[in-house]
Chains A and B, each alone.
Chain A
Amino acid sequence: MTATTAKPIAVANIPREGKEEGQFSVVMRRFRRHRLAMISLVVIIVIVVLAALAPLIAPFPRDIPDLGVSSRPGLPGTLSSQGQIHLAGVDHLGRDLLTRVLFGARVSLTIAFVVVFFSEIFGVIVGALGGYFGGWFDGVSSRVVEFLLSIPTLPILLVTSSVLIKSGAQLPVPDFVTNGLARIMATTPAEANKVIVLMFILIVLGWTGAARLMRGMALTLRNQDFVESLRAMGASHWRIIFRHIIPNGIAPILVNASLGLAGIVIAEASLSFLGVGVQEPTPSWGNMLANAQSFMFQYPWLPLIPGIPLVLVTVSFNFIGDGLRDALDPRLKR
Chain B
Amino acid sequence: MNKKKERIIKYLFTMLAFASLAFLVGIVLVLFKEALPIFTKVSPKDFLLGQSWYPTAEPAEFGILPLILASLLVTLGALVICVPLGVGSALYLHELAGPRQRAVLKPVIEILASVPSIVYGFFGMAILAPMLQNSFNLPIGLCALTTSIILGVMATPTVASIAEDALSYVPRSFREASFAVGADRWQTLTKVIIPAAGSGISTAIILGMSRAIGETMTVLMVAGGSAVIPSSIFDPVRPMTAAIAAEMGEASVGSDHYNALFAIALILFLITFVFNIAAELISRRFRLKLGLSR
Partners in one complex: no
